Amino acid sequence: MSQLDYATLRAAALEARQRAYAPYSRFSVGAAVLSASGRIFLGGNIENAAYPMTICAERVALFSAYAADEREIVALAVVTPTSDVASPCGACRQVIAELAPQAMILLLNLEGAERIVTPRDLLPFGFGPQQLAELG
């Protein structure tokens, strides 16, 4: 991924954060997915008064890419309003491992901290399609 792509993806994640709907937690998160075709898909967390119905920014962005028939995900940037970068939740880690297994994950905060990880770093012993295939 080039430096220009990185800057574009970071800016897109920041833009996505502005679109988040987080009236309860006030913890707005933005995510941006870069597909192999060069398209960028945005996602912001969307909360609901019935808390379990909330969906994270990472899943919104990934699901948007998949809904647009983009299956090869190159990178995912996630920006949080924390003092250090924050890792995706367990549900998002599972979805990332399946939908973007080769992607570079950029974890960012509003103060400029950043960390680059892989889906395997986030979920080293993940469950996926290969385990289901073993059933025959």
In the numeric block, which tokens belong to residue 32? Answer: 């941006």
Length of the chain in terms of residues written: 136
Q: Which of 5, 12, 35, 8 is nearest to 100 (CA)?
A: 35
Closest by Cα among 122, 95, 105, 83 to 34: 105
Annotated catalytic residue: which of 15, 47, 58, 72?
58
The answer to whether 123 and 97 are in contact (CB under 8 A) is yes
Does 58 qualify as catalytic in the annotation? yes
Q: Which residues are catalytic?
A: 58
